[in-house]
Structure 1
Amino acid sequence: MDQNLERFIAIRRDLHQIPEKGFEEYKTQKYLLDYLDELPTERLEIKVWKTGIFVKVKGMNPNKTYGYRADMDGLPMEELTGLAFLSQHKGMMHACGHDFHMAIGLGVLTALVSNPIQDDVVFLFQPAEEGPGGAKPMLESQIFAEWRPDEIVALHIAPEYPVGTIAAKPGLLFANTSELFIDLKGKGGHAAYPHHANDMVVAASQLVSQFQTVISRNVDPLDSAVITIGKITGGFVQNVIAEEARLEGTIRTLSEESMVRVKQRIEAIVKGIEVGFDCSAVIDYGSMYHQVYNDETLTKEFMNFAKDHVEVIECKEAMTGEDFGYIVKEVPGFMFWLGVNSAYGLHHQKLNPDEEAIAVAISLLTSYFSFKSRAN
């Protein structure tokens, strides 16, 4: 595994340098395809889908098909790690570990090509997990229909856990999520004559304050939900009353029912702002991700299996969003956290996962697919 570890660490570092936006992963796709072209072809089938890739590793006598999903895109943020293999794309960074996910996928794929199991394994290299969402359209593609796995697994790096540890839980793992964009339009004017204008900075501020009551007074206290407004823009100079303002945020809930209820309350509050400030408002929910609900039987089986290979922790559900939820809504499967021991967390400009975790994941997943195929 030492030589393989160096190989896939090198792959991870190459991928780390070329992070790209969702559905713009052209260099990433080419890098993956170039690597796949170097492998023996007798057990491989490769199909390109948009900027993603489907790869089938054919088993010796298949009765079932297993799947592994690896997301491909980066995040629009400047990297501050100081690493020798720093992102070459200004304003883009692999700050969510997708470079790890892909390198691990290639490692497992390579192992199964070299030492084939009885069953087929399909690898989904999926674009646009960070937005606008690649899992749902990939799921709806003709290729997925032809190669539909019977079971599927994905992992996500976890900076808070040490290398050699995984964390998972049966049932709900990740929340339902929705983006939130609200555009307000009123009437601008001179700062000295506020009575002749409808100030959208004040309207936006009122919205932020009122949204706090949605969570505290409209969501079951035994449930969990979050509304976060992360960005407000409005106006263009200090002595002019702003005619327009824009709020950008996110909604996260642990139940589908709460997501519906939260949106209903947001819409009611926004209508009140329109009346109260004599303005117009447009709401856009952007990308919406379904909760990741791990198949309970498969997750328990995997956690029991993994105990012989790594330390296993049963974790709590998180407010994290992941479009893998659309896939496990249709196909039995699960996601687990892979410990990578980073001082900085996901989506941080200094995220620096421990690369030793790559070998841990490749070994664990290769053994798991072999185990599943023997048990089948």
Structure 2
Amino acid sequence: MNATMNDSATDSSLSAKMTTLFKSLHRHPELADQEVWTTQQIEAHLTALGIPIKDYELKTGVVAEITGSFSGPTIALRADIDALPLQEETTLDYKSEIDGVAHACGHDFHTAALLGAAEVLAAERGQLHGTIRLIFEPGEERHTGARELIAAHVMDGVSAIFGMHNMPWVPVGTVALKSGKLMASNDNFQVTVKGVGSHAAMPHTGKDPLVATAAIVMALQTVVSRNIDPVDQLVLTVGQITGGFANNVIPDEAFFKGTIRAFSKESRQLAKERFYQLVEQTAAAYGTTAEIEWDQGPSPVDNNATVTQLVADQARQFMTVVPAPTTNADDDFASFEELVPGCYAFIGSKGNANLHHSDFIADPAGLIYAAKLHVAVAQALLAKLNQGTYFTN
């Protein structure tokens, strides 16, 4: 670890800067792919640090590079920047000022931490052998960001990538790590069941989409209980059902949507196949039809063992390292790891509620640890690559 980041006065100063930035970002959350103000703030901060911004013709989001004085490989550090369509219910003096939008996942924490790391790394560019690409990803919550960045060739030339997500169950000063599968894949579905409406007292004159929908939802429970290998892990959840508008009217159609999370390609594909079969055939059995919209999200986050060990070695110099359990949550950081070796870490932000809750709070005391970990990992990755070490997926 560079001595610059081991000085308590320097740490305190950087922590104060990041906390101010974090609170500003928290007050002004923006939804996926609408992060115009956030993008402007990131660009302004990087420009003030003398860090060149790369033009990938992105609508929102920022990619910048810290190029060392000596030639070498390129590694990437990533933070996501978007917020959630959720009303914040906290008593923070810096709570969201945008009605119905909140940083309830802590992407403001991620952004502030990476900008803090950028300040340190920019000051040390004279010692760097290689390039550090800073990726501030838009649209993570909608799974659009990684796809757009990859399509724009942002990952071209990158040899390894590191990122982190704050975790409220992890204490400040602790990082949770796991090589291999860490987070699940994510596929989302929307189904419209179309029938024939009728008077509720004369159901025989119609084709009831509500009864068909109920039967479909119940049938889908067998995907996990009777189709997926019990030693595998898969979740199929219907999170919304909508249909009807009066107690005495059978509607023409009903609607439901949900998500499937998996850790293996085989189970993921089997779940999709069974989903289509059960939905379409059950609908037909009730005299209705079903229109399915399928959104294939990211694959599982799959951490490279060698990169993860490197992260652990660096973290132990100033943090507590604990094992990370697998989680059915997802993250499109997985899309980057499909291209290059990487590690995604869970950084401590001990709070009062879980991610995506209206009263979620990320403790800004964790920012200094996140920034220091970004710096240490970036330096270590470049050092290893310059020594001829190559990480393979």
TM range (shorter): over 0.9
Per-residue CA deviation, residues 204-231 of structure 1 (Å, 9 max, x unaligned), is 1111111111100000000010011111
For 2:195, the aligned partner's letter is G
Alpha-carbon distance, 1:287 to partner:
4.5
Alpha-carbon distance, 1:368 to partner:
2.5
Q: 1:195 aligns with which of 197, 201, 204?
A: 204
Distance 2:305 2:50 in 1: 36
Per-residue CA deviation, residues 80-117 of structure 1 (Å, 9 max, x unaligned), is 01211111221111111110111011011111111222
4+ runs deviating over 6 angstroms: none
Q: 1:121 aligns with which of 99, 118, 132?
A: 132
Per-residue CA deviation, residues 301-333 of structure 1 (Å, 9 max, x unaligned), is 221221122110122221111111111000111
Q: Indicate yes or no: 2:345 matched with 1:359.
A: no
Contact 2:139 2:145 in 1 (8 A): yes
What's 2:153 paired with?
A: 142
* Further displaced range: 312-321 or 246-255: 312-321
Where do 1:149-168 residues align within 5 Å? 149-168=158-177
Alpha-carbon distance, 1:186 to partner:
0.4
Distance 2:154 2:264 in 1: 31
What's 2:24 paired with?
A: 14
Contact 2:65 2:132 in 1 (8 A): yes
Going from structure 1 to structure 2, the CA distance change for 1:143 and 1:288 (only over 3 Å counts) comes to: closer
Contact 1:132 1:287 in 2 (8 A): no
Q: Indicate yes or no: 2:260 matched with 1:251.
A: yes
For 1:133, the aligned partner's letter is T
For 1:46, the aligned partner's letter is K
Contact 1:133 1:287 in 2 (8 A): no
**SS of the residue aligned with 1:248?**
strand
Q: Structure 2: where are the runs of 5+ without partners?
A: 1-10, 387-393
Q: Structure 1: where are the runs of 5+ without partners?
A: none
Q: Indicate yes or no: 2:14 matched with 1:4.
A: yes
Contact 1:201 1:234 in 2 (8 A): yes
Distance 1:39 1:287 in 2: 38
Alpha-carbon distance, 1:31 to partner:
1.3
Q: 2:180 aligns with which of 160, 166, 171?
A: 171
Where do 1:219-368 residues align within 5 Å? 219-368=228-377
What's 2:84 paired with?
A: 75
Contact 1:59 1:119 in 2 (8 A): yes
Q: 1:27 aligns with which of 30, 33, 37?
A: 37
Per-residue CA deviation, residues 165-197 of structure 1 (Å, 9 max, x unaligned), is 001111111111111111111011111111111
What's 2:54 paired with?
A: 46
Going from structure 1 to structure 2, the CA distance change for 1:301 and 1:36 (only over 3 Å counts) comes to: closer
Aligned residues: 372
Going from structure 1 to structure 2, the CA distance change for 1:218 and 1:143 (only over 3 Å counts) comes to: closer
For 2:357, the aligned partner's letter is H
Contact 1:165 1:312 in 2 (8 A): yes
Contact 1:161 1:340 in 2 (8 A): yes
What's 2:378 paired with?
A: 369
Distance 1:318 1:20 in 2: 26
Where do 1:88-99 residues align within 5 Å? 88-99=97-108
For 1:119, the aligned partner's letter is G
Distance 1:4 1:189 in 2: 66
Distance 1:204 1:80 in 2: 34
Distance 2:219 2:186 in 1: 20
- Normalising by structure 2, we get a TM-score of 0.92
Contact 2:184 2:329 in 1 (8 A): yes
Per-residue CA deviation, residues 357-376 of structure 1 (Å, 9 max, x unaligned), is 00111112212222333443
Distance 1:143 1:16 in 2: 27
- Identity, in percent, stands at 32
Alpha-carbon distance, 1:120 to partner:
0.8
Contact 2:166 2:348 in 1 (8 A): yes
Distance 1:306 1:367 in 2: 8
Distance 2:203 2:265 in 1: 42
For 1:2, the aligned partner's letter is S
For 1:47, the aligned partner's letter is D
Going from structure 1 to structure 2, the CA distance change for 1:156 and 1:205 (only over 3 Å counts) comes to: same
Distance 1:251 1:309 in 2: 38
**SS of the residue aligned with 1:90?**
coil
Distance 2:262 2:153 in 1: 31
**SS of the residue aligned with 1:94?**
coil
Alpha-carbon distance, 1:143 to partner:
4.2
Contact 2:176 2:346 in 1 (8 A): yes
Distance 1:272 1:287 in 2: 22
What's 2:3 paired with?
A: none
Give the alignment's Cα RMSD to 1 decimal.
1.3
**SS of the residue aligned with 1:37?**
helix
Alpha-carbon distance, 1:248 to partner:
1.2
